[in-house]
């Protein structure tokens, strides 16, 4: 609305308030000009007042519109901030869920690996740990001058072994030299010991063997004893008696053996 139209409207409104009709100009102004002038002045005053009120209202409306625009801008900024916060929160939740899943997977993997390592370590300990085997035989009769197995230990698993063997030799009537040898099943002699008996009844001697041996396959270790020379015949069924034969084999993790067969070892 233009200022002219606004002022015209205000004037018309003021005339109405003042009780003046626009057609009053057509009426006779005889004796009434002062009154009309006063009324016009009153209308102009009212119009000025109304103009001031309109200006005030217009200013207040502009301020209200500005405030409303600022509020809308603030609301838009707040909505944007809320959206950004929600996006960041969703991203953080997703990242933490993924991190928790990765951590749990790592824990499960580590637990499984440690369990496997413990089992492997136990297996290595069991494999490398000492295992002992023993055997005992009360008596093995040998005819005078004969040679034969008096004891055996096994079958033993493949591996490295420290082997000890002991036998008591009893002679009933001759001076005899005895030899006891430890042999593997494949024929290797791993130790040899000799003993001597004087010629009187009941004489006895102890023969001992100690050796290291490596078995590349499961097998037994045999103790073979015999006299080096044949003595006279005996009236008794058994002229020689080998008793209390004890053998022990201890498996070890590592072994360094300088000679695998005593019959093929150098003199020095």
pLDDT tens by residue, 98-147: 999 999 999 999 899 988 888 887 776 666 667 889 999 988 866 665 78
What three-state secondary structure class fits 214?
strand
Report how far residue 119's alpha carbon sits from residue 127's, in angstroms, rounded to the nearest whole number: 12
Residue intervals of the chain classified under CATH 2.60.120.760 are: 131-264
Give the pLDDT confidence of 169-218 residue by residue, as tens digits: 876 555 667 789 999 999 899 999 887 654 444 567 788 999 999 999 99
Chain-centre distance for alpha carbon 262: 51
Residues 6 or more apart from 37 whose CB is under 8 A from it?
none
In CATH, 131-264 is 2.60.120.760: yes
Q: Is the pTM of this model over 0.85?
A: no
Task: Identify the helix (H) or strand (E) that includes residue 251.
Answer: strand 240-252
Let me know how many helices (H) and strands (E) the chain has, helices first: 2, 8
């Amino acid at each position: 609305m233009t200022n002219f139209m606004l002022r015209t409207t205000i004037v018309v409104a003021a005339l109405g308030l003042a009780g003046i009709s626009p057609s009053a100009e057509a009426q006779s102004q005889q004796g009434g000009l002062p009154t009309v002038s006063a009324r016009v002045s009153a209308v102009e005053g009212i119009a000025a007042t109304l103009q001031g009120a309109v200006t005030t209202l217009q200013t207040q409306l502009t301020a209200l519109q500005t405030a409303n625009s600022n509020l809308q801008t603030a609301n838009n900024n707040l909505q944007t901030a809320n959206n950004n916060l929600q996006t960041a929160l969703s991203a953080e939740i997703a990242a933490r869920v993924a991190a928790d899943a990765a951590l749990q997977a790592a824990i499960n993997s580590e637990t499984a690996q440690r369990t496997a390592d413990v089992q492997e370590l136990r297996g290595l300990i069991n494999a490398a740990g000492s295992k002992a085997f023993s055997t005992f035989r009360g008596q093995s009769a040998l005819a005078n001058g004969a040679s034969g197995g008096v004891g055996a230990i096994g079958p033993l698993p493949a591996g490295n072994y420290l082997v000890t063997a002991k036998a008591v030799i009893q002679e009933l009537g001759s001076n005899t030299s005895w030899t006891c040898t430890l042999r593997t099943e494949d024929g290797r002699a791993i130790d040899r010991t000799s003993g001597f008996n004087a010629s009187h009844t009941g004489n006895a001697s102890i023969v001992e063997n100690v050796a290291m041996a490596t078995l590349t396959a499961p097998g037994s270790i045999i103790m073979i004893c015999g006299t080096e020379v044949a003595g006279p015949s005996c009236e008794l069924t058994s002229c020689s008696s080998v008793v209390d034969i004890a053998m022990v084999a201890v498996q070890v993790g590592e072994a360094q053996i300088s000679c695998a067969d005593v019959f093929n070892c150098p003199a020095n």
